[in-house]
A = this chain, B = another copy of it.
Amino acid sequence: MATIKDVAARAGVGLGTASRVLNGSAQTSPSSRERVLAAAAELGYVAHGPARALRRTRTDALGLLVSDIRNPFFSELAHAAEQEARAHGYAVLLANANEDERQADDVLRTFASQRIDGLMLSPQGPATPQLASLLERDVPIVLLNRRIEGVDLPFFGTDNEQGVGLVLEHLQRRGHRDVAYVGGTPTMSTGVERARTYLGGRAAHGISTDDAFVEAGDFQTEGAAAAMLRILDRGVQPTAVFGANGATTVGVLRALRERLGSDAAAAIEVVSFDDFDWFAYASPAITAVRNDASAIGRAAVQGVLALLRGEPAESVRVATTLIDRSGR
């Protein structure tokens, strides 16, 4: 394995000169520049990242901790974040927490040990010990999509109020009165914001405020299906259902089909916070609020990089758009 020492020797220059050429850091004579580059190419030299990180006290790596990469929202976000980071010369270390606080802490310990330069975090719950320790070290951290109680960090996520507003308007436009709402986890900031905005906006948009139409889920398919079944079991007859996120909507679909059969289910309009491409092919028709995960991912990277430069990072709430598929 060739080291920079080998490169320097082969080029007939000193260690320092080789390093300077390879990093383009300082002035070097054209002749040594040329010879060093030639030597490096001949030897297939690849700088030893860890050694370089050790000496420079930075790694050019950002950590990205999401709850579950299988969630399309996060995989799109991760993809965009990686592209954006790469464009700025940073690598992204991706890890899953599986909605598990212990695993999240474990990952943070690994990140800390790797000495990542910055962190993008979709929190699982309250602040954990490892997070606190990273904060102490002044590692730049931004939050994705969920907030953490008591911790004031730049936030990059969806504009829930605006998105729910679009849904309320759509439901009113379509003349729905009896609308079921399957919400998210009541302890998560996203769940709270969406529920508050929706429930509070019902009256102004001609939607029944009967709480028999409302159940909380857990942002997972299973829990949402169960919640939907509880609503149906009360004997109410919604003409539309609003699911608080993508997985919730899938659970709603499953429950409707299971309890009513696919024909009766097709008569119900389903509205989703979070859009999936395949909604276009589903029956019943699904109207959705599209959540620009790519924009969030890019903005989050830019936020971390700003913090790294010592500038303040402004929180960003990305606006959503309504994909209306009710007209079919």
Contact = CB atoms under 8 A, between A and B. Distances in A.
A72 interface: yes
B113 A48 contact: yes
A69 interface: yes
A68 B59 contact: no
Interface in A22-48: 44, 46-48
A262 B328 contact: yes
A323 interface: no
A109 B46 CA distance: 8
Contact of A91 (B50, B83, B110): B110
A204 interface: no
Contact of A96 (B79, B106, B277): B79
A76 interface: yes
Contacts of A328: 262
A265 to B, nearest CB: 9
Contacts of A69: 69, 75, 78-79, 82
Contacts of A224: none
B50 A115 contact: yes
Given A50-B53, A72-B70, A250 B262 contact: no
Contacts of A253: 281
Given A93-B93, A95-B82, A113 B70 contact: no
A225 to B, nearest CB: 12
Interface in A243-296: 250, 253-254, 257, 262, 276-278, 280-283
Contacts of A281: 250, 253-254, 257, 282-283
User: What's the number of copies of this chain in the assembled complex?
Assistant: 2
Interface in A106-161: 106, 109-110, 112-115, 133, 136-137
A93 to B, nearest CB: 6
A110 B59 CA distance: 12
Contact of A51 (B50, B82, B83): B50
Contacts of A95: 82, 91-92
A94 B107 CA distance: 14
A156 B51 CA distance: 33
A49 interface: yes
Given A76-B70, A79-B69, A50 B46 contact: no
Contact of A50 (B50, B78, B82, B106): B50
Interface string A155-173: 0000000000000000000
A203 to B, nearest CB: 32
Nearest 10 CB-CB pairs, A to B?
A50-B50, A50-B53, A283-B283, A49-B113, A49-B114, A94-B94, A75-B75, A281-B282, A50-B54, A46-B112
14 contacts: A46-B112, A48-B54, A48-B113, A50-B59, A68-B79, A70-B72, A70-B76, A75-B75, A86-B106, A91-B93, A93-B93, A254-B280, A262-B328, A278-B282
